């Protein structure tokens, strides 16, 4: 299984302090990667590092906002100096603001685009320069089913994630000749602390997701680990510009009538 071995590789995961980002980071670490985690919240970063180290993983952390180009540039240079160049970048940091398109403040729309799309571009550009010089690298952008579909109240998020899909394809187009693979992961609906209040029998949205998903369940965060390891490893050296949707089959189907087994 050397194709999936990430020993001697350093993986930077933005926002890898909780939820799906933490699950993917743990998957990379379990395959041998050294973790570098970013966050904007010191307490969350400290808790996450304690968790990773408690599992026996090698991990370090840095506080900065990926949308601040000047600070991000300084931090990436510091990481390279203190730890070494990055082999794997996972652009996971993101936000969502649920608001009707008719009433959403423009500043909220801009903030979502800034975090979910501009931030990944800044990080990819900064670390991509290292990868081009080294003629090797893996970039994984965390996209979404909203990279493909619309939904009420998530106009800014869908616009950003749709843009992130196209950013993935364009970076792959430019950098493939440098032996850099740029791909994405599109999570479906997952069982996290954020979705816990609506994951109860009888809740309309829970019933909708169960009926809409061919696998008939919510995803577990660990379900993302295989895709993350694959796209970070030698196994994906000729895979480029793709988005792997880990969604239990939602995007493959038009759905089924509510009375159908």
Q: Specify if 131 maps to a domain.
A: yes
pLDDT value for 193: 85
pLDDT value for 25: 98
- Please tell me the distance from the alpha carbon of residue 207 to that of residue 61, in angstroms, as a whole number: 39
pLDDT tens figures, 153-191: 999 999 999 999 999 999 999 999 999 999 999 999 999
**Would you name the residues annotated as active-site residues?**
157
Residue 26 belongs to domain spanning: 2-248
Q: Specify if 260 maps to a domain.
A: no
Q: Spell out the long-range contacts of 67-72 with Cβ–Cβ below 8 A and sequence spacing 24 or more.
A: 67/114, 67/115, 67/118, 67/119, 67/122, 69/122, 72/122, 72/123, 72/126
pLDDT value for 260: 63
pLDDT value for 256: 74
Q: Specify if 261 maps to a domain.
A: no
Q: What is the rounded end-to-end Cα distance, in angstroms, of the chain?
A: 39
| Domain containing residue 134: CATH number | 3.40.50.720
Q: Specify if 149 maps to a domain.
A: yes
For the chain, what is the domain count?
A: 1
Q: Specify if 93 maps to a domain.
A: yes
Q: Specify if 254 maps to a domain.
A: no
Residue pair 215/248 in contact by the 8 Å Cβ criterion: yes
* Model confidence at 257: pLDDT above 90: no
Residue pair 138/168 in contact by the 8 Å Cβ criterion: no
Q: Specify if 126 maps to a domain.
A: yes
User: Shortest CA distance to 138 belongs to which of 222, 30, 242?
Assistant: 242
Give, as one character, the DSSP assignment of residue 8: T
pLDDT tens figures, 21-60: 999 999 999 999 999 999 999 999 999 999 999 999 999 9
Q: Specify if 257 maps to a domain.
A: no
Reported as a pLDDT band with limits 50, 70 and 90, residue 258 is low
């Amino acid at each position: 299984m050397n194709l999936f071995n990430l020993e001697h590789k350093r993986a930077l995961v933005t926002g890898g302090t909780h939820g799906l980002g933490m699950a993917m980071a743990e998957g990379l670490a379990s395959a041998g990667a050294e973790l570098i985690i970013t966050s904007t919240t010191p307490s969350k970063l400290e808790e996450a590092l304690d968790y990773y180290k408690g599992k026996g993983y090698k991990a370090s952390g840095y506080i900065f906002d990926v949308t601040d180009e000047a600070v991000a540039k300084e931090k990436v240079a510091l990481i390279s100096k203190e730890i070494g160049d990055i082999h794997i970048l996972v652009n996971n940091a993101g936000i969502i603001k649920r608001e009707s398109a008719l009433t959403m403040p423009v500043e909220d729309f801009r903030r979502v685009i800034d975090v979910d799309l501009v931030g990944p571009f800044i990080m990819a550009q900064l670390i991509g320069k290292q990868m081009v010089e080294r003629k090797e690298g893996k970039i994984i952008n965390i996209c979404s089913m909203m990279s493909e579909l619309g939904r009420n109240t998530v106009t800014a998020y869908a616009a950003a994630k749709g843009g992130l899909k196209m950013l993935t394809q364009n970076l792959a187009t430019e950098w493939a000749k440098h032996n850099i693979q740029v791909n994405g992961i599109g999570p479906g609906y997952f069982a996290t602390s954020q979705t816990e209040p609506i994951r109860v029998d009888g809740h309309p949205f829970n019933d909708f997701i169960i009926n809409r998903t061919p696998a008939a369940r919510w995803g577990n965060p660990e379900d993302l680990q295989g895709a993350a390891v694959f796209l970070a490893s030698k196994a994906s050296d000729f895979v480029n510009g793709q988005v792997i949707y880990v969604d239990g089959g939602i995007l493959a189907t038009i759905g089924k009538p509510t009375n159908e087994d």
